[in-house]
């Protein structure tokens, strides 16, 4: 697709994305909701890039029918609504925003720790039921208590900083060696952390090693009256074992934002053994759901789409080899070439350019086992048709060019 790029934004993406795309020359169209079927095809037919959230399903057939699609921005964390391999096979880049809601999750976690130590939800529920229970028994200050963070990544380390500012003592366990922030200390095993913490907060991804990571055996290791927070993924905690520990009083409370079986849509019935446990705070997977996070996500993904469109940068792309590229110098042409990762492609490209007496100023390359992405900054360029030979190579998946201010205009070709 040549000429003015068109960006289509679905699913009420935060307006801050629009300005960033428009400033980069995109004509932006917004479509409310998540189109499907013929409505989605009709929209994709004239899009250069699309912005979706979690509801728009982009299957292999969409990438087959709309090979001109240059990139899809997932304005959310997950990308399982998109067939990533199908997009890769067409050289279409997929971006997302994995960390823009880090602060929102961290703040909620610390708020829940305070609420659980003070039994605020239980006291509030009692008062709603008309019972005035003004007792200090089992209510604790957060200051001085030990927080055990499992998974010291983006969210875990933010929780660490916020918790220390409240006067908590922070310990953490991670499978990767991490720089402790502030006065936090690492623990070599999960078991050591569970034995020592007054509050255990989980911030690990869902992996084969973390599914069922906290079961009856691990809960038994926790201190009597300790609290457990899971704002990570539902499968990490054995809900039955947790509900039992809350009902016997071995654990003093829990906060859960994620569950092994989450309802598919708003209004659907939520079933869990934790329903009716007064010491459990239950929230419907809203850890990252704040207006601030939505705004950050919109800006981050829109900027990634713009950098890809203008410079070819695939940094943090989830399906194509990642290349971070400098801004192109005036008078140069950048050849952005996605091809099947087989021997000989670079050699052929170099030969074609040399025959056309085109000088290569810079070359960047990254590959995964299936696909390579090579970028050549060239000059000494008179006829863009000289590149037709490269576009026509049998290994080419997609080729486009982008220009410094004096060079021939941008173009796109793919197979
Ligand atoms: P991250 O990738 O930055 O950090 C995860 C950390 O866990 C890494 O340091 C990793 O080394 C560590 N880890 C992995 N396996 C481990 C194991 N077996 N034992 C100990 N440590 C292990 O991830 P981030 O952004 O901090 O997210 C953490 C969790 O929060 C993820 O599960 C994510 O899906 C979830 N999340 C939940 C949200 C919500 O709405 N409730 C919103 C955003 C993220």
Q: For residue 51, give the CATH number of its domain.
A: 3.40.50.720
Report CA(205)–ligand 1 centroid distance (Å). Answer: 4
What is the total count of domains within the chain? 3
Q: For residue 397, give the CATH number of its domain.
A: 3.30.70.260
Say whether 216 sits in a helix, a strand or coil: helix
pLDDT tens, residue by residue, 327-372: 888 888 999 999 999 999 999 999 988 888 888 999 999 999 999 9
Shared domain for 240 and 194, answered yes or no, is: yes
pLDDT of residue 78: 85
Report CA(187)–ligand 1 centroid distance (Å). Answer: 17
**Longest C-alpha distance within the chain, in Å?**
88
Report CA(151)–ligand 1 centroid distance (Å). Answer: 6
Average pLDDT over residues 283-311: 95
Average pLDDT over residues 60-67: 96
Nearest atom in ligand 1 to the alpha carbon of residue 176 is 11
Whether the CB-CB separation of 190 and 164 falls below 8 Å is answered with no
pLDDT of residue 403: 84
Whether residue 411 lies inside any domain: the answer is no
Pocket lining for ligand 1, CB < 6 angstroms: 77, 99, 101-102, 105, 150-156, 173-176, 203-207, 209-210, 231-233, 257-258, 285, 287-288
DSSP codes joined into one string, 253-281: EEEES--SS--SSTTPPP--TTTT-TTEE
Mutate to test the pocket of ligand 1, among 102, 110, 160, 205 (most ligand atoms within 8 A of CB): 205
Whether the CB-CB separation of 200 and 194 falls below 8 Å is answered with yes
Domain of residue 67, residue span: 1-101+290-320
Global pTM reads: 0.85
Asked whether residue 3 carries a pLDDT value surpassing 80, the answer given is no
Asked whether residue 415 carries a pLDDT value surpassing 70, the answer given is no
DSSP codes joined into one string, 36-77: -HHHHHHHHTT-SEEEE-SS--B-HHHHHH-TT--EEEESSS
pLDDT of residue 184: 98
Confidence of residue 389 (pLDDT cuts 50, 70, 90): confident
Asked whether residue 116 carries a pLDDT value surpassing 80, the answer given is yes
Shared domain for 6 and 47, answered yes or no, is: yes
pLDDT of residue 328: 87
Confidence of residue 270 (pLDDT cuts 50, 70, 90): very high
Shared domain for 224 and 368, answered yes or no, is: no
Least confident of 53-57, 87-91, 221-225, 299-303: 53-57
Taking the C-alpha atoms of residue 45 and residue 65, their distance in angstroms, rounded to an integer, is 8
Report CA(8)–ligand 1 centroid distance (Å). Answer: 31
Nearest residue by C-alpha to atom 44 in ligand 1: 232
pLDDT of residue 375: 96
pLDDT of residue 379: 85
Average pLDDT over residues 167-172: 98
Shared domain for 147 and 10, answered yes or no, is: no
Least confident of 43-52, 96-105, 352-361, 405-414: 405-414
pLDDT of residue 348: 93
C-alpha distances in angstroms, 266 versus 57, 75, 262, 269, 270?
18, 19, 10, 9, 10
Shared domain for 246 and 372, answered yes or no, is: no
pLDDT of residue 356: 83
Shared domain for 333 and 300, answered yes or no, is: no
Whether residue 414 lies inside any domain: the answer is no
C-alpha distances in angstroms, 93 versus 69, 294, 366, 383?
9, 22, 14, 28
Least confident of 97-106, 150-159, 237-246, 396-405: 396-405
Least confident of 90-104, 182-196, 385-399: 385-399
Shared domain for 168 and 31, answered yes or no, is: no
Q: What b/e readout covers 24-59, taking b as 16+ CB neighbours within 10 angstroms?
A: bebebeebeebbeeeebeebbeebbbbbbbeebebe
Whether residue 412 lies inside any domain: the answer is no
Shared domain for 169 and 208, answered yes or no, is: yes
Asked whether residue 147 carries a pLDDT value surpassing 80, the answer given is yes
Asked whether residue 408 carries a pLDDT value surpassing 70, the answer given is no
Whether residue 381 lies inside any domain: the answer is yes
Whether residue 228 lies inside any domain: the answer is yes
């Amino acid at each position: 697709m040549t000429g003015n790029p068109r960006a289509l934004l679905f699913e009420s993406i935060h307006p801050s994305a629009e300005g960033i795309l428009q400033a980069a020359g995109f004509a932006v169209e917004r479509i409310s909701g998540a189109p499907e079927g013929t409505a989605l095809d009709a929209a994709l037919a004239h899009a250069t890039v699309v912005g979706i959230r979690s509801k728009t399903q982009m299957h292999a057939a969409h990438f087959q029918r709309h090979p001109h699609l240059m990139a899809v921005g997932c304005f959310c964390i997950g990308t399982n609504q998109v067939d990533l391999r199908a997009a890769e096979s067409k050289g279409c880049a997929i971006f997302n925003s994995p960390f823009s809601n880090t602060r929102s999750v961290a703040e909620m976690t610390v708020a829940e720790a305070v609420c659980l130590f003070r039994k605020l939800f239980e006291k509030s529920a009692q008062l709603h039921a008309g019972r005035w229970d003004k007792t200090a028994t089992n209510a604790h200050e957060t200051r001085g208590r030990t927080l055990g963070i499992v998974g010291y990544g983006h969210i875990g380390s933010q929780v660490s900083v916020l918790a220390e500012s409240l006067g908590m003592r922070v310990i953490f366990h991670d499978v990767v060696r991490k720089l402790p922030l502030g006065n936090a200390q690492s623990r070599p095993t999960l078991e050591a952390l569970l034995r020592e913490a007054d509050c255990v907060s989980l911030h690990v991804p869902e992996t084969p090693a973390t599914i069922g990571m906290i079961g009856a055996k691990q809960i038994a290791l926790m201190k009597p009256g300790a609290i457990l927070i899971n704002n990570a993924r539902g499968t990490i905690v054995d809900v039955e074992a947790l509900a039992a520990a809350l009902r016997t009083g071995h654990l003093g409370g829990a906060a859960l934002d994620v569950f092994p079986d989450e309802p598919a849509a708003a209004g659907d019935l939520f079933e869990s053994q934790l329903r009716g446990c007064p010491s459990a705070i239950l929230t419907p997977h809203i850890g990252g759901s704040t207006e601030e996070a939505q705004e950050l996500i919109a800006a981050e993904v829109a900027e990634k789409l713009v950098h890809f469109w203008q410079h070819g940068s695939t940094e943090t792309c989830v399906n194509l080899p990642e290349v971070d590229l400098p801004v192109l110098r005036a008078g140069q042409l950048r050849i952005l070439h996605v091809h099947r990762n087989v021997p000989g492609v670079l050699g052929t490209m170099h030969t074609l350019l040399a025959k056309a007496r085109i000088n290569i100023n810079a070359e960047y390359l990254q590959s995964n086992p299936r696909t390579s992405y090579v970028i050549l900054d060239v000059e000494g360029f008179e006829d863009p048709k000289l590149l037709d030979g490269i576009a026509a190579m049998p290994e080419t998946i997609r080729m486009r060019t982008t220009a410094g201010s004096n060079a021939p205009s941008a173009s796109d070709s793919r197979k």
